[in-house]
Structure 1
Amino acid sequence: MKYENAGDVLPAHLLEEIKKYAAGKLLYVPLEKERKAWGELSGYRHMLVKRNQLIVNMFLHGVEVEQLSAKFHLSEETIKKIVYSRKNKFQLTYSPTLKSASEYSEAGLLEEWIHTYLLFHRRNEIFSDGLRLCYRYYIGPIMMPLSLFQRSSGPEYDMKWKVHPEVFEHRVSEWLNKIVQTEDTPPLLINYEHNKFEINSDNPLYEALVRSRVAEYPVIIWITAKECHDAFLNTYGMYV
């Protein structure tokens, strides 16, 4: 890199100001495109935004400060600063709907929407904790044909997860009512692995959509392995 004499390239008044702070020192002036906010290059800043969003969501759903402190390995004072911060008014609100999921996705917080949905509307903490064990790829919400998927739970004998017929039909009926009333329903949560799809959440919603003759519906795809992620994009990239 070529060094220049500051006296040759800077206006006199600016040079006098710089001398007050760095006379005799070598300074590097970054290009405009090189200027990054703290933490942006490492992704650490966005990681904190994601973590704090989930903490706020959990707090608003009744999780106590003490519980949040233990779960996220932070002091109670740190948790209080996060959940009571005035900046929270700029954070996203959550609802179990496609609109909310799309807003979170656009903000780079889709994973936080998924965990909030699983914890407080599916009541499936085990599933949520399992997703957090390693890095996952999350894609969506995207419109995909329902014909690509099949239920993984229900009353049939060959289902991976068996559900009592009356319980299953009751849940399907609830979703059918929401569909008829054109409510904003949540996207389906689907795992893709080795060229196979598995509906992980809301199988009764899927059944209600099929019975309502819905051809396409928003889904969130989660993938564990990079090779499966690449395979998904190669085969189904037209939907992304």
Structure 2
Amino acid sequence: MKYRNAQDIFPEALLKQIQRYVSGETIYIPAGNGKRSWGETSGYQQFIRERNAAIKADFEAGKTIDDLMEKYCLSYDSIKRIVYSKKEVSMLKYSATLESAKAYAEAEKLDAWIHLYLNEEGRNIPFSDGLKKCDRYYFSPALVPLKFFKRCSGPEPEMKYRVDALWWDHKLGELKKTIEATPDFVNKCAPMFVEYTGGEFVLNDGNHRLQAYKDLGYEKAWVLFWITEEDEYQDFLKKYGEYVKDCVVIRK
């Protein structure tokens, strides 16, 4: 287990609060989601590889696509892509970058990249689990005006997901420093995740980035859209189709 100095991690005000309870001692901070089950974090890629191999083996043994849909609880299009695909997830190099997301999308494996990203270091496991509950439409990253989006997380009272103001400011400040110090950061960083539902955009992942981009004067950033309902998918295309006309779209 790696030892880290709390003074190098926490903002001064938060550190003083912690020191009210413990000072000068080594403490263990457990992961926020407890013990991870099989298939999470980096193990998800192994799970995808083994599942796809099993599906292909069953298909070659004579099972129909309908049989496989029932056995593996996947859609027709998902099974078809797996059994006829020549490029496996194992051949792709994952990283939390725009380039990697685009590569997975071109191989029609965007859902695998999404779950790898969300499970990496426990970034947002509950969100990943929720996406797996039913098929969704996923668009490969698109460069979209930031004016369309607003935060749902932050220290403000109206935010759906409230966070400590000191911690928010600390993370936002560090992110701005990174963006300013990294040439072409917006074209390298992973895309933000946005759901389109009820005719509105909901920013699921990337609240700090959105605020940092706006504060630093950026007008556009890369976004990965996802939609659940067919009617909302059609509505999205009607209103915003020009921004995703070159995107790869999958439903999984």
**Normalised-by-shorter TM-score class:** 0.5 to 0.7
2:214 corresponding residue in structure 1: 210
Shift of 1:146: 0.3
Q: Which moved more, 1:169-178 or 1:106-115?
A: 169-178
2:189 corresponding residue in structure 1: 185
- TM-score normalized with structure 2 length: 0.61
1:110 corresponding residue in structure 2: 110
Residue type matched to 2:147 in 1? S
Residue type matched to 1:94 in 2? Y
Q: Which runs of 5+ in 2 are unaligned?
A: 1-38, 58-86, 245-252
1:228 corresponding residue in structure 2: 232
Q: Which runs of 5+ in 1 are unaligned?
A: 1-57, 79-86
Alignment check: 8 A CA contact 2:153 2:163 kept:
yes
1:196 corresponding residue in structure 2: 200
- TM-score normalized with structure 1 length: 0.63
Aligned length: 169
Alignment check: 8 A CA contact 2:194 2:203 kept:
yes
Alignment check: 8 A CA contact 2:41 2:116 kept:
no
CA distance in 1, matches of 2:89, 2:44: 19
Q: Specify whether residues 166 and 122 from structure 1 end up closer, same or farther in structure 2 by C-alpha distance, changes over 3 A only.
A: farther
Runs of 4+ in 1 over 4 A off after TM superposition: 62-65, 87-90
Q: Which moved more, 1:92-101 or 1:165-174?
A: 165-174
* 1:159 alignment partner, SS class: coil
1:156 corresponding residue in structure 2: 156
Residue type matched to 1:129 in 2? D
CA distance in 1, matches of 2:231, 2:166: 40
CA distance in 2, matches of 1:151, 1:177: 20
1:32 corresponding residue in structure 2: none
Equivalent of residue 42 in structure 2, options 61, 73, 92: 61
Percent sequence identity over matched residues?
Answer: 36
* 2:173 alignment partner, SS class: helix
